[in-house]
């Protein structure tokens, strides 16, 4: 049956006056055809490029540049730059997602913003290599965040646009794999340039641009007809960023569960360097530095994330169920926290990092697929996923505030990791509240 043969549906307020769900264009229809491997590869490469551009600077390059400006004030400079960038990311992701929702370009809704975001981010990285002052450095890093978040918002929204529900776990898992590979690649680039942060920025910019090439040429993005775009109203545009939990409870519970699980995950990794130094005492017991210990644990964690994100996503597609795997992965993440809490040894840290990677990799893939099934409307997928992505960024701000008193005042690392486990378990409990997805 074609769309034109389908009976008319009740009016939907997200469509222009006189339109209906039954008359919706192909760009807003629920996808049914499985996407091709080349399209998936394009999405994965975009994720690799974006995360290389994010994490190469965050992990090393920005810190080196801050020290070059002032060795004595490097911590304050780095906090200023990364804090400003994080604030921009909170706004940029839903904002650019909303822009892409309204784009009626012949290239489609998402492609122009993937391209514009990548070009903006790369240009800012190139300029960052020669930033003459802390103020300019801060501004340019904010532009990097804006560009990369714009590209990420658009390519993330392309998945529910193009991928049918039975394939979303697999594609979401591969996208999560791309994110983790990008993080590792950023670390490798930062290590390879041996302190020459300017060269590091240039390589990260090249990786970002290279990452969007395949997606740009093989995106299959379906254009949005101009007549299907609602008239613009500034008040309505701003109000659209509030999604009522009363009207869309599944969306609200999905947002809350992702926030809690991410807070727990960030609490586990935040003080890892000091945990190895002060609780595990790796220098005395293992003969390695805490810094090299963090590298080993991060690499082990990343490998497990890469493996289980792909496996977990595919399993959820085959089973046709998301919630049981989201709950299981949340329990595994909590178990990893408890291992670190009650086995503060190098062996315990290795096991804990592996278990955390297993749980978080599966969670990333399956929870993303679940979230795409509770989005309020097809017309606003980019904006709505941007709001979901706030639950990824906000924990970077909240986790340090929550973690600090546990470490300093309330029992040290045992209480910190127990608290992280409890917060993660709450995420598992609240998944049960989602009624529209099995």
Please answer whether residues 340 and 352 qualify as being in contact, where contact means their C-beta atoms are separated by less than 8 angstroms: yes
**Residue 13: which region, alpha, beta or left (left: phi > 0; alpha: psi -120 to 50)?**
alpha
| Residue 181 and residue 254 share a domain | no
Between CA 253 and CA 186, with CA 335 as vertex, the angle to 5 degrees is 80
pTM of structure: 0.84
Locate 190 and state its tokens.
């930062």
Share of the chain above pLDDT 70, in %: 95
| Residue 187 and residue 108 share a domain | yes
Establish if 243 belongs to a structural domain.
Answer: no
| Residue 120 and residue 181 share a domain | yes
Establish if 74 belongs to a structural domain.
Answer: yes
**What separation in angstroms does the CA of 82 have from each of 120, 124, 198?**
18, 15, 17
Establish if 241 belongs to a structural domain.
Answer: no
Burial of 258 (0-12, 13-18, 19+ CB in 10 A): buried
| Residue 271 and residue 184 share a domain | no
| Residue 52 and residue 137 share a domain | yes
- Measured from the Cβ of residue 322, the count of other Cβ atoms closer than 10 Å reads 28
- Mean pLDDT for 12-21 is 39
Q: Where are the beta strands (DSSP E) in 22-118?
A: none
**What separation in angstroms does the CA of 87 have from each of 53, 141, 182?**
17, 11, 22
Question: What Rg do the C-alpha atoms of the chain give, in angstroms?
Answer: 22
Establish if 128 belongs to a structural domain.
Answer: yes
| Residue 415 and residue 348 share a domain | yes
Residues 46 and 178: their CA atoms lie apart, in Å, by 8
Confidence tier at 23 by pLDDT (50, 70, 90): low
Confidence tier at 3 by pLDDT (50, 70, 90): very low
- Mean pLDDT for 207-214 is 96
CATH of the domain at 81: 1.20.1250.20
| Residue 127 and residue 268 share a domain | no
Establish if 277 belongs to a structural domain.
Answer: yes
Residues 252 and 249: their CA atoms lie apart, in Å, by 5
Count of structural domains within the chain: 2
Establish if 392 belongs to a structural domain.
Answer: yes
- For residue 90, the enclosing domain spans 34-220
The predicted structure's pLDDT at residue 288: 81
| Residue 192 and residue 256 share a domain | no
Where is 122: in which H helix or E strand?
Answer: helix 111-128
Helices (H), 163-289: 168-192, 197-217, 234-239, 249-270, 272-275, 282-285
Cα dihedral sign, 24-27-28-34? positive
The predicted structure's pLDDT at residue 327: 92
| Residue 420 and residue 325 share a domain | yes
| Residue 84 and residue 212 share a domain | yes
3 state SS of 233: coil
Residues 174 and 224: their CA atoms lie apart, in Å, by 27
């Amino acid at each position: 049956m074609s769309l034109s043969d389908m009976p008319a549906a009740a009016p939907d307020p997200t469509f222009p006056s006189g339109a209906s769900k039954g008359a919706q264009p192909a760009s807003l229809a629920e996808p049914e055809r499985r996407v091709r491997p080349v399209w998936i590869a394009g999405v994965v490469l975009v994720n690799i490029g974006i995360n290389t551009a994010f994490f190469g600077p965050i992990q090393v390059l920005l810190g080196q540049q801050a020290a070059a400006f002032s060795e004595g004030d490097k911590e304050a400079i780095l906090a200023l730059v990364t804090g400003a960038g994080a604030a921009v990311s909170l706004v940029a992701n839903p904002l650019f997602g909303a822009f892409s929702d309204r784009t009626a370009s012949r290239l489609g809704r998402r492609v122009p913003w993937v391209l514009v975001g990548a070009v903006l981010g790369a240009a800012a990285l190139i300029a960052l290599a020669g930033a003459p002052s802390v103020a300019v450095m801060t501004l340019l890093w904010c532009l990097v965040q804006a560009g990369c978040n714009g590209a990420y918002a658009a390519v993330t929204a392309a998945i529910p646009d193009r991928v049918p529900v039975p394939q979303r776990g697999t594609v979401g898992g591969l996208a999560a794999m791309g994110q983790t590979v990008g993080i590792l690649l950023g670390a490798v680039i930062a290590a390879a340039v041996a302190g020459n942060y300017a060269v590091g920025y240039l390589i990260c910019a090249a990786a970002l641009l290279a990452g969007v090439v395949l997606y740009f040429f093989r995106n299959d993005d379906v254009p949005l007809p101009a007549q299907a775009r609602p008239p613009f109203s500034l008040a309505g545009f701003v109000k659209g960023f509030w999604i009522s939990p009363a009207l869309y409870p599944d969306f609200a519970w999905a947002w809350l569960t992702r926030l809690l699980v991410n807070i727990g995950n960030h609490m586990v990794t935040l003080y890892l360097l000091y945990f190895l130094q002060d609780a595990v005492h790796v220098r005395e017991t293992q003969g390695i530095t805490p810094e090299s210990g963090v590298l080993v644990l991060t690499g082990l964690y990343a490998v497990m994330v890469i493996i289980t994100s792909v496996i977990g996503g595919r399993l959820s597609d085959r089973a046709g169920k998301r919630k049981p795997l989201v709950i299981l992965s949340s329990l595994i993440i909590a178990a990893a926290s408890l291992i670190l809490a009650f086995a503060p040894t190098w062996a315990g840290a290795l096991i804990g990092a592996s278990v955390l990677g297993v749980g978080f990799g599966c969670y990333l893939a399956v929870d993303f697929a679940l979230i795409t099934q509770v989005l309020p409307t097809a017309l606003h997928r980019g904006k709505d996923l941007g709001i979901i992505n706030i639950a990824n960024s906000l924990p970077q701000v909240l986790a340090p505030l929550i973690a600090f008193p546990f470490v300093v005042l309330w029992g040290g690392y045992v209480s910190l990791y127990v608290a992280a486990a409890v917060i993660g378990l709450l995420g598992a409990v609240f998944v049960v509240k989602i009624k529209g997805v099995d």
